[in-house]
Amino acid sequence: MPAADVIEQGWRASLSEQFSSEYFISLKNFIYSERAEGKTIYPPAKYIFAAFDLTPFENVKVVLLGQDPYHGPGQAHGLCFSVPGGIAPPPSLVNIFKELKTDLGIPPPKHGNLQKWARQGVLLLNATLTVRANSPGSHQHKGWENFTDEVIRLLSSQKSGLVFLLWGKYAQAKEALIDKTKHYVLKAAHPSPFSADSGFFGCRHFSKTNELLLQQGKEPIDWKLD
């Protein structure tokens, strides 16, 4: 796990108290012990804070909340729902691209790397930032949720006019952390194949997000990836 001083400086300043807190020290020790026992942890250490590095605090316009990193080889690189180039998009991401085509007519890209979205101000935040290989949920309730909940509270209190995309019940439970008098919350079913037909398909969150940004005089997101 990288030291806190490698995270983007705006986030580092805003989250300094978290990095020195008892729960975060305990979290780091847990991850170190997992690695010491020979367990493979995803994403690689240099990508754990990739969402923050690609979307500096001052640039955040949209927050998309995920749950766990992908737990298969080569998939996780620090951005929720995203995979590096050369890795086949997982089913939820395939469904995201289907909705993108329905909503904005953008054809599915040839890759699943969402870094272009992140660089435009879409914070692609998982609630848990690490996972043991082939063991979904294995790093839940170890401290990451304390950290990412504080990220949401911080964004809610210090910024205005953000668009929060909450897909699925897990993400929607974070709504209580958001001041809805200052921000916009768009909710839909999770894009997983198990639930996408129950309200994700047809949600049109990509066009709705851009409408909300334009209403505030902000640059819309170019959702096209290729």
Contact between 162 and 184 under an 8 Å Cβ cutoff? The reply is: yes
- Give the Cα separation of 78 and 173 in Å (integer): 22
- The active-site residue out of 53, 68, 197, 222 is 68
* Burial degree of 136 (CB within 10 A; 0-12, 13-18, 19+): middle
The token duo for 222 is 């170019």
Residue of 210, 47, 93 whose CA lies nearest to 218? 210
Contact between 185 and 178 under an 8 Å Cβ cutoff? The reply is: yes
- Give the Cα separation of 30 and 157 in Å (integer): 30
Q: Is 68 a catalytic residue?
A: yes
**129 residue type, one letter:** L
Residue of 161, 165, 154 whose CA lies nearest to 122? 165
Let me know how many helices (H) and strands (E) the chain has, helices first.
9, 6
**157 residue type, one letter:** S
The token duo for 21 is 């807190």
Residues labelled catalytic: 68
